[in-house]
Amino acid sequence: MRIRDLLEPKAVDLSPEVKDKEGAINRLVDLISSTGCINDAERFRQAVFDREAKGSTGLGEGVAIPHAKSAGVSYPGLAAMVVRDGIEFDSLDGKKARLFFIIASPHKASDAHLDVLACLSSLLIDPSFRQSLIDAKSVSEFLSLIDKAESAEKDEEQSHEAAPPSEGGYDLVAVTACPAGLSHTYMAAEALELKAREMGLSIKVEADGAAGNRNKLLPEDIAKAKAVIVAADRTVRMDRFIGKPLVRVGVNDGIRKPEELITRALSPDCPKYSLVSSTESVSLPMLLYRHLMSGLTYLMPLVAASGLLSAFAALDHVNGTDVGFFFETVGYSISILLFPVLSAFIALSIGGRTALVAGFVGGVMADLSGAGVIGAVLNGFAGGAIAYMTAKLARSFLRGHDAMFALLVYPLAGTLGVTAVAEFVTSIPSSALDSWIMDFINQSSPASRALLGAVLASMMSADMGGPLNKLSYAIGVLMLADSLPESGAGGLVMAAVMAGGMVPPLAAGLASLCARPLFSANERKQSLGAIGKGLLFVTEGVMPFMLIAPSRMRFACFAGSACAGALSCWWGCAVCAPHGGIFIIPLAYHALNYASAVGAGTLTGAVLMVLLRIGVKMAR
């Protein structure tokens, strides 16, 4: 299969009338739809915009390759477009995009078409080839240039196919991978190969794409290589590189900075990869956060169950009845599990299965000593560390015969170790800090609580799924777990966090309904969907509205969330579960006030969005 098998003449436009990024994507979708490979154009269009919202596909050097996998695609297809004057596309290098390709891929991609896409991505690395496509005078010339370049590429591949690096192995080995496994994966691989060839170096690159590993690295390739480059935006197998000098970056750096990566990898100062001290650019706070989130994942369903049952038991027509007593008893029983489960799965994330017992014991100790959720978290980290070190020492001394100790020594060592840490290190300070936080929230003035609510709620829309958003949500869940089976201060904080997450999509949906001319056709189609997602506390529903003037739209979301969070805390609203949105509001403490807070935040955000869109339109 060749590129021309996917790229039909009618899917090429050399003089489109587009003025911005949204118009370019819409035109590309229309072009590829004309080939018949799309069975649901709007579904595929939305998939492309959703992919774009996660990160620009403007690769730099004037090239943009929007793409998406979608059930709206019947079979693979390509479309191309040239905008000679260029348009702003949020490209990585800040330059205007002039050459566009769009890739439509079904969920089950064939190996043959992925080879074609890999070839196209490789060709676009060559600046003279890109420029020749931009300068093409007709569609037939455009396609002829691709045919000639593809033939030359295949001839070159065959001439190099069987040429081994040397008896000493490759100078470098590398892995490239992007989330979709399409263009970025192969462009990074080609950029590294071309640059290495220019520098007189041998390299083998494993392209970990949608069809699996291409050019897979063999153990002997890795063993003989002088260094390793991993340019990937998703998880790849790293343990095979232990002991090798390694540079770990994102896939875009593989495309844009191949010479810098090669130089860094071959530098005497390049650190060697190990499981303990990874050369990945992950800071200690990020590692700790990942372990915390592992515990939080297992905690959330229990928090929801305990909170909802306790809230049902407190309803006027249920409270005091046998049914109410049953709900209250079950809710309280579940709440006893919260700290042990949180602590145990933090420990599991650090030390593996041998750390589970130590983690559970740490959670029980936090509960018995009144150390609260802070004590449970600290004991979870302590239990994981103790179990990890115990297992490591056992493996070192017993040389593979440590399995017999798994049922006796590991649990006992973990239990005694974490009990000692809880009793003599974490319990007293954790208990004091936990009590101070709860007292501060419960006894503070409405104005102080409003400020706290504004900060936590605005964090939910500050970076849309980034570290601040996740930190705010984690604080809400942990505080709620610390208060159950009563809602208390934790319910107050969780209410502000949930309001902050609901407002952005609600505001965007309302604004696009009320001021339709200011929003694109695609945005108007997403209006009701965004409102629905907002009601369900799915903050990502706002993403399709962030493509135009993203910084201004983010400010509107930020202000609306802060308003909702501040009013929620000012009125003393509290919720009983860490998720649910509109379904939780009837069970909220001061439910009408809470609904009013969310409504006020939505209105604030929507008004600001409209005003800021008017400003953008006037500026144009």
Same domain, 215 and 153: no
Same domain, 425 and 463: no
The mean predicted confidence, pLDDT, of the chain is 84
Does 178 participate in catalysis according to the annotation?
Answer: yes
Same domain, 41 and 133: yes
The structure's pTM equals 0.60
Q: Is residue 275 part of a domain?
A: no
Instruction: Find the domain containing 44 and state its range.
Output: 3-108+121-158
| Predicted confidence (pLDDT) per residue in 283-312, tens digit | 677 678 778 877 887 888 888 888 888 888
User: Can you tell me the distance from the alpha carbon of 449 to that of 440, in angstroms, rounded to the nearest whole number?
Assistant: 9
Whether residue 474 contacts residue 293, with contact meaning beta carbons closer than 8 Å, is answered with: yes
Task: Give me the pLDDT at residue 132, please.
Answer: 92
Q: Is residue 210 part of a domain?
A: yes
Same domain, 56 and 147: yes
Does 67 participate in catalysis according to the annotation?
Answer: yes
Which residue among 67, 113, 184, 579 is the active-site one? 67
User: Can you tell me the distance from the alpha carbon of 176 to that of 256, in angstroms, rounded to the nearest whole number?
Assistant: 13
Same domain, 497 and 363: no
Q: Is residue 113 part of a domain?
A: no
Which residue among 37, 178, 557, 573 is the active-site one? 178
Q: Is residue 277 part of a domain?
A: no
Q: What DSSP assignment string belongs to 60-83? A: ETTEE--EEE-TTBSS-EEEEEEE
Give the C-alpha distances (Å, rounded to integers) separating 612 from 235, 338, 540, 605.
Answer: 39, 44, 20, 10
Q: Is residue 560 part of a domain?
A: yes
Task: Give me the pLDDT at residue 166, please.
Answer: 54
Same domain, 98 and 148: yes
| Predicted confidence (pLDDT) per residue in 21-66, tens digit | 989 999 999 999 999 889 888 888 888 888 787 677 887 788 888 8
Q: Which CATH number does the domain housing residue 240 bear?
A: 3.40.50.2300
Q: Is residue 125 part of a domain?
A: yes
Same domain, 470 and 392: no
Q: Is residue 197 part of a domain?
A: yes
Q: Which CATH number does the domain housing residue 42 bear?
A: 3.40.930.10
Same domain, 176 and 146: no
Whether residue 41 contacts residue 53, with contact meaning beta carbons closer than 8 Å, is answered with: no
Same domain, 250 and 300: no
Positions in the chain whose pLDDT score sits under 50: 111-112, 159-164, 276-281
Number of domains in the chain: 4
Q: What is the 3-state secondary structure (H, E, C) of 404-444?
A: HHCCCHHHHHHHHHHHHHHHHHHHHHHHHHHHHHHHHHHHC
Q: Is residue 271 part of a domain?
A: no
Same domain, 494 and 607: yes
Q: What DSSP assignment string belongs to 496-523? A: HHHHHHHHHHHHHHHHHHHSGGGS-HHH
